[in-house]
Structure 1
Amino acid sequence: MRSAVLLLTLTSLIFSALPASAESTEEATPEPEVMGFVEWVVMGETGIRLKARLDTGAKTSSLHAVNVEPFEKDNEEWVRFQLPLGDHKDQPSEGDIDHEEVILEFERPVYRTVLIKRKGAPSQRRYVIKMDFCIGGKTHETQFSLTDRGKFSYPVLLGRRFMRDDNILIDSGRSFIVENECEYSTLEELAESKKALAG
């Protein structure tokens, strides 16, 4: 009889502990943020505003880049590249400057390289960098492979790694649904800052 009472007590203790455990797990997991399949992003601290497609079919994000050149800096592998704003013309303008006139240049350390297999063409080596960007009023960091996206509608592609790390869900039927905006520069402000750096 005593052993039966002891077993009943232990069973009650186990089951009474389960709801508390489940509740603590629910509290620890924040609600995912829902975004549309296309949203505005602002890259790094540059003020460049670009359209980004959120793509669950891609693991790694990618960024439009041309004239990609590796070089060595402080015994580490770096890469420099250009982002011509004339390829997509998403930057707001308040004057007479044409998007074709503004080509931004970046230098970043190489995080890793990937070999991309292409159907009917030689494999292509791509450099991957880490870069900050703002979306929905929040700053994030993720890996971007550098590739020429001039023929694509969107200069930025955000992949599953970003969605997983930052708890993002995609509403594939809507676009531009995030409420908070990120600060961005006009085309004229970008052109002026480029001149200042060059001078």
Structure 2
Amino acid sequence: MEYQVQMAYRQEDVAALVKALEFRRRPEKNLRLAMKIGYPVFGILLILSGGGVLVAMVSAGLFSVLSTVISILCLLGGVALLRRSDSRGMERRSWKKYPNKGLVLTYTFNKEDFREEDEVSGEHTFQYLSIRSANEDPEHFFLFTANNAAHMLRKDSFVHGDPESFRAFIRKQCAVLVDPIE
């Protein structure tokens, strides 16, 4: 055994995973900033436009199926953009849906493979070549497979080995760089 991590996921861990997934979906820093500002602004504009058309139709007494449909789509699109910009809400919803609260996970990293074990689903063995990319933030490592499944390791939960040398170990075993999350 080279490294072992034993942990139970907390709400902060799920929040960090949501941020890591957002970072992976939008890796360009300027684009992330534009979306952070643009989603709420355009969401509000869509809601105001859709609401304004509905108010105008009601006050004028003129109803058109097309105008009503377009107004409703503007309202729904605006709400969707506002929800999309609410990463804290996404974090809370993800934690609420997470079924294994309090479940202890053990990751064991050997020279030839690594294993994930918990008391509900037992032990699963993974080859290092299944890891396609890796990220880290100040508290976690995130190892992503080809189908975008994530193995999240909290740096303060290493019971064997240390996080500083783990980065180099993963780089060598998986042939991936561990990119920092900005």
TM-score normalised by structure 1 residue count: 0.21
> Which of the pair is proportionally richer in strand?
1
**Larger Rg, first or second structure (1 or 2):** 1
